Amino acid sequence: MPITELLERNAREYGNDVCLVEINPEMKETRRVTWKEFELIEPVRAPYYRREITWSVFDEKANRFANLLLERGIKKGDKVAILLMNCLEWLPIYFGILKTGALAVPLNFRYSADEIQYCLDLAEADILVFGPEFIGRVEEVADEIGKHRLLYYVGDGCPGFAEDYTAHVADCSSKAPDIRLTDDDFAAIYFSSGTTGFPKAILHKHRSLMHSATVEQKHHGQTREDVFLCIPPLYHTGAKMHWFGSLLSGSKAILLKGATPKFILQAASEERCTIVWLLVPWAQDILLALDRGDLKLSDYHLDQWRLMHIGAQPVPQSLISHWKEYFPNHLYDTNYGLSESIGPGCVHLGVENIHKVGAIGKAGYGWETMIIDEHGNPVKQGETGELAVKGPGVMECYYNDPKATAEVLHGDWLWTGDMAMEDEDGFIFLVDRKKDVIISGGENLYPVQIEDFLRTNDKILDVAVIGLPDKRLGEIAAAIIELKPGVTCTEDDIDIFCKQLPRYKRPRKIIFSHVPRNATGKIEKPKLRQMYGADQLVAAQNRG
């Protein structure tokens, strides 16, 4: 069934229960806003520390926006883009779009003005809904993007080039529009993270969204009593599809604006959160703060916290071992997925398999996996190949890009571009991105393996390994190393440490610098290649 029916069910059965809470920990004023006040003053005039809404208000607000869109001529198959930071308005707007039969098109909040325009044009969006953080960027291209589309602004002080969302939506009906939706209707366009090039538009049907909700609930067992702490950006499939587990179970979620260790533990404590999804850097930051004594667990109420899970990147075994020292009773899971596979869950570790930390796990609920060679044939167990996945959450296509679609969709199988191997127990381990493999003197080097080794050094906070051009070897492995605060470490120290590796796997160049990651925690290797002169090498490989 279409995922909008879950929202309508929750509004009927749990209408007066709080479903979403927005926490703004940086706000000095700590007044809390109830759902009744929220109805009157939407969008809330900051600063407010905490806002909340119930399931019935959520559904009513989605209906109001849906009816506004229908009044403005939006119909099935049209596209409405969302450019908002995480906030209480985000999900009602998203579901309002879906209720019209239109496609929701979430945009990355880090996009530049040119990228915003590019993505709107690629997705053929008819409307852009944006917030105050993006006035400057949208204004840069407003004359161009406003020629053929409406611009709605969510916030105080609506700029002259846009229409006021609040003023328009207030007069619209709160009844559900009479639009029939099916699993086969198109629902959303998500953009790839761009870690391997410019974003591609990923088209999904309602079937994909519903499957992601089922997968999340099956993997993590959400019940009505659970409270999910959501920190990553909602524009990304990772955060939203994890929240879909709360939608399916009718349970509460907390939208936390800010990812410092103190903010995370404080929100988990105050809101009695039971499930928290973290990115590796955030988990590392929490552990560092506890190690230094900057934070003390005794200052928080965390007994109810039952599950910590991580996705979006390989997880070092040492991190989870350290985590269990502070949180011995936590269940732990790793989630793997792509926007092309409707986010996390096509592969997952499973809370019962913590002894296999380091692996991404096995095929998730309703999914199949296969590791293949360059011709699409299965490789032998223990050999490295490309991970392919098959299931109800595979995308329909890259929108308006048949060439790119043909490169990754082969029948019902999605070729992920991730190199992997399966051990004797059937657990899958990521080796690296196919495009990130370094060929040095004829040997294949997999940066993730070198990164995992370097992270076992207790002086290293984060590390990225990339290939740099070399006249003799073709390319060499370079390690960009971000040290923990206050520690001293030299290139010689790293060279000595790396003698535990086979000679051909040792980094030939050491660079001490910050390791950039995008909003979903993935290392921005294209940016590093540009910074350190590897662009020509990558271009040559692509031409080859």
Number of domains in the chain: 2
- Return the C-alpha torsion angle 490, 462, 450, 533, nearest 10: -80
Beta bridge partners of 180: none
In a domain, 362, yes or no: no
- Domain of 455, CATH number, reads 3.30.300.30
In a domain, 459, yes or no: yes
3-state secondary structure of 311: strand
Beta bridge partners of 387: 371
Q: Mark which of 162, 185, 220 sits at the end of a domain.
A: 220
In a domain, 299, yes or no: no
Cβ atoms within 10 A of the Cβ of 28, count? 6
What's the pLDDT score for residue 540?
A: 41
Q: For residues 367 and 520, what is the distance between their CA atoms, to the nearest angstrom?
A: 23
Q: For residues 186 and 319, what is the distance between their CA atoms, to the nearest angstrom?
A: 40
In a domain, 229, yes or no: no
In a domain, 409, yes or no: no
In a domain, 117, yes or no: yes
- Does this model's pTM top 0.85? My answer is no
Q: Mark which of 184, 205, 220 sits at the end of a domain.
A: 220
Q: Are 346 and 391 in contact (CB under 8 A)?
A: yes
In a domain, 424, yes or no: no
Cβ atoms within 10 A of the Cβ of 442, count? 8
What's the pLDDT score for residue 43?
A: 44
Q: What is the pLDDT along the chain (544 residues), one digit of tens a residue?
A: 899 999 999 999 999 999 999 999 887 555 555 555 555 444 444 457 899 999 999 999 999 999 999 999 999 999 999 999 999 999 999 999 999 999 999 998 888 898 899 999 999 999 999 999 999 999 999 999 988 899 999 999 999 999 999 999 999 999 999 999 999 999 999 998 654 457 899 999 999 999 999 999 999 999 999 999 999 899 988 888 999 999 999 999 999 998 899 999 999 999 999 999 998 888 989 999 999 999 999 999 999 999 999 876 667 788 899 999 999 999 999 999 999 999 889 999 999 999 999 899 999 999 999 999 999 999 999 999 999 999 999 999 999 999 999 999 999 999 998 889 999 999 999 887 777 778 786 667 878 889 888 989 989 999 999 988 877 677 899 999 999 999 999 999 999 999 988 787 899 999 999 998 876 677 888 788 888 875 544 444 443 3
What's the pLDDT score for residue 441?
A: 65
- Domain of 29, CATH number, reads 3.40.50.12780
Q: For residues 241 and 541, what is the distance between their CA atoms, to the nearest angstrom?
A: 35
Q: Are 64 and 174 in contact (CB under 8 A)?
A: yes
Q: Mark which of 193, 220, 247 sits at the end of a domain.
A: 220
- Rounded to the nearest 10 degrees, the angle between the axes of helix 135-145 and helix 113-123 is 50
Domain that holds residue 494: 437-543
What the block records as the tokens of 275 is 């499930």
In a domain, 114, yes or no: yes
Prior bond of 447 cis (ω within 30°): no
